[in-house]
């Protein structure tokens, strides 16, 4: 069986075939004795070019491991870990009672495989025990979103907030109407609410006791504006007990729906990566870790 990957120094079979077709085509054009070129020849060449191009694109396909439960081991005995990038041709084994999830950012698809299984990444997709794995299509907004940064997976280890207070929203990408209602979970007590731009300009400040604040009508938020907000102790507090951020997007602007509380770890990581791509790093960490669920 020929190798699934080739050295970049050596053209693959598709490239060699394309060269032969091209040389034959050029020779035919330059030959004075060549028969007239029909439209069928043109269509044939287009089909060949499309096939070679598609094969080349497929070979460049990488998948990112967004979740590993149990044991997943490569053929060289190294472990498959969350956030590893796997390329076409790679193989690994998944033990019983194990699960792996692989994200393809080119088409925003998630491949989820349960063990036991022998997994191969082919140019056409993911194979488990020789059979094609059907991918789950995620929101198109996740296309070309690069999932990287271990902080997205380790978010639950780095997120620390006051045990008596937890912000709920708004957070991430929100519509204008949703950007005016703020809520959090807290124990009884007096707290101070503060909202500012990401540049540190204060937008609104007020005392809050019931875990909820609605912005007054005279407080305007800009479409596309990036804001941060948090809750501080009412007396003598200078450091927020918890804080987060959001960007105001018009309804027409493309934004994925926020995954629900039952979302898988992979969905949280992918959505966190999308938030990070919009410059919402704090919101990305909180969401990936489930801090705002």
The whole-number pLDDT of residue 20 equals 60
Which domains, from first to last, does the chain contain? Answer: 13-59 (no CATH), 62-137 (no CATH), 155-289 (2.60.40.10)
The rounded distance, in Å, linking the Cα atoms of 4 and 6 is 7
**Residues found in the chain:** 293
pTM of this prediction exceeds 0.95: no
- Residue that is written with structure tokens 């191969």 in the block: 120
The whole-number pLDDT of residue 201 equals 95
Q: What is the pLDDT of residues 184-200, one digit of tens each?
A: 987 677 789 999 999 99
* Listed residue (65, 95, 99, 69) closest to 82, CA to CA: 65
The rounded distance, in Å, linking the Cα atoms of 65 and 33 is 57
Cα 110 → chain centroid: 10
Ramachandran class of 30: left when φ > 0, alpha when ψ lies in -120 to 50, beta otherwise: alpha
The whole-number pLDDT of residue 34 equals 47
Which tokens hold the place of 51?
A: 């096939």
The whole-number pLDDT of residue 154 equals 54
pLDDT tens-place values along the chain, 293 residues long: 333 333 334 454 445 544 664 565 455 555 545 455 555 554 454 544 444 444 443 444 789 999 999 999 998 999 999 989 999 999 999 999 999 999 999 999 999 999 999 999 998 889 999 999 999 999 999 999 998 766 565 553 344 445 567 899 999 999 998 999 999 987 677 789 999 999 999 999 999 878 899 999 999 999 999 999 999 888 766 788 889 999 998 865 768 888 888 888 899 889 999 999 889 999 988 887 776 55
Angle between helices 265-277 and 281-289 (to 10 degrees): 180
* Listed residue (179, 209, 164, 169) closest to 191, CA to CA: 209
């Amino acid at each position: 069986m020929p190798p699934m990957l080739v050295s970049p120094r050596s053209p693959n079979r598709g490239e060699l075939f394309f060269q032969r077709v091209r040389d034959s085509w050029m020779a035919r054009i330059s030959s004075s004795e060549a028969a007239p070129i029909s439209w069928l020849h043109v269509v044939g060449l287009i089909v060949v070019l499309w096939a070679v191009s598609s094969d080349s694109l497929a070979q460049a396909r990488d998948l990112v491991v967004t979740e590993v439960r149990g044991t997943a081991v490569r053929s060289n005995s190294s472990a498959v870990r969350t956030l590893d990038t796997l390329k076409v041709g790679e193989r690994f084994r998944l033990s019983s009672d194990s699960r792996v999830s692989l994200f393809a950012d080119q088409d925003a698809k998630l491949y989820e495989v349960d063990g036991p299984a022998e997994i191969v990444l082919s140019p056409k997709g993911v194979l488990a025990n020789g059979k094609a794995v059907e991918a789950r299509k995620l929101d198109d907004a996740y296309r070309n979103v690069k999932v990287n940064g271990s902080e997205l997976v380790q978010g639950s280890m780095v997120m620390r907030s006051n045990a008596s207070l937890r912000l709920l929203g708004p957070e991430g990408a929100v519509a204008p109407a949703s950007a005016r209602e703020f809520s959090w979970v807290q124990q009884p007590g007096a707290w101070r609410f503060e909202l500012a731009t990401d540049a540190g300009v204060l937008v609104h400040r007020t005392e809050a006791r019931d875990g909820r604040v609605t912005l007054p009508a005279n407080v305007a938020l800009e479409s596309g504006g990036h804001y941060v907000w948090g809750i501080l102790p009412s007396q003598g507090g200078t450091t927020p007990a918890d804080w987060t951020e959001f960007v105001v997007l018009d309804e027409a602007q493309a934004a994925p729906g926020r995954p629900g509380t039952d979302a898988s770890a992979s969905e949280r990581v992918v959505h966190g990566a999308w938030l990070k791509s919009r410059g919402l790093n704090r919101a990305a960490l909180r969401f990936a870790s489930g801090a705002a669920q």
